[in-house]
A and B are shown apart, each in its own frame.
Chain A
Amino acid sequence: MKVRIHVNLKPGVLDPQGRAVHHALEGLGFDGVKDVRVGRLIEMDVADNTSDEALDEMCRKLLANMVIENYRIEKLETA
């Protein structure tokens, strides 16, 4: 089973990287960008019987830092 883990900074946590990217986009002449937040995407291939609880635990224990980040688990259709 292919799984994507989307890790993002929690709302309210300042994202200096996102701010710099925002700035760079404006520098390139792209108007109308209101906000940029930079996150991380982790793609995994796991055994089909991997439980949701196990995926949650992976995120909480390692893939995301729960002090500053949120995560979202996206399961992709298997071919």
Chain B
Amino acid sequence: MVTSEMPAEVGTKGRAQRPKRRSGGRGRDSALAVLTPVVLLLVWELLVRVDAVDARFFPAPSAIFEQMLTMMSSGELWDHTVASLRRLFIGFWLGLVPALLLGVVMGLSRSLRAAISPLVSGTYPIPKSALLPLILLIFGLGEMSKIVMVAIGVFYPVVLNTMAGVLQIQPMYYDVAKNFGARRWQVFRTVALPGAMPSIMTGVELGAGLGLILIAIAEMVGANSGLGFMIWNAWELYSVETMYVGLLVIALIGYGLALLLGQVARIVTPWQAQR
């Protein structure tokens, strides 16, 4: 394999130089990423201390953290967070599984695609939050209505991205599968699903984000637990610090979700060059 090593060698040489520059850039990038919010918080704190901003609307970060610690020690924050995460989790799977199956089937079957895709793309532009009254009417004020809202949020991006992912697989791969004797379900498992996986993961990331938005909205209207309820309740009680605590926790959940799903994407699509 003498000749074949040549391009590989050239490849590593090119690669060996780049990471050096890139990792240096990355280190500086992450330093900047931490520095910006810290500076912003300090400025904010300072502005409140010198009465430059109205502390009723923009309480000092120190006051917000203090409130957060109080709520944590009383267990209140924990209860609301768990309630939201639970709904998010159940709703996520409730939306994901049918979306995946339907998306792959729609990608593989032309007639099913023709039959279902107008329905999906026709209802997709409806703001999901506008469905909340209807969902409350159908599923009542209990847990189910919130779970369904999350499921709807997850369903649409996943079904559309899965279908698109299956459709963009090169026809040649299906020829290969057929030529090497793959049966129907084997084609599904070895070609359609892995081939669409990068696109599916994009859909899942979008869906999880949408689910988080919808859970907050749903809990504001028809719930007595959860972070959405906590924020809404704080507005009614005029406890501005609590509102900020709720926002902060939701932001942290969103960030955590993005990190988690990025990790999952790396595990389920190991063939992709590092993103």
Chain B associates with chain A: no
A interface list, Cβ under 8 A from B: none
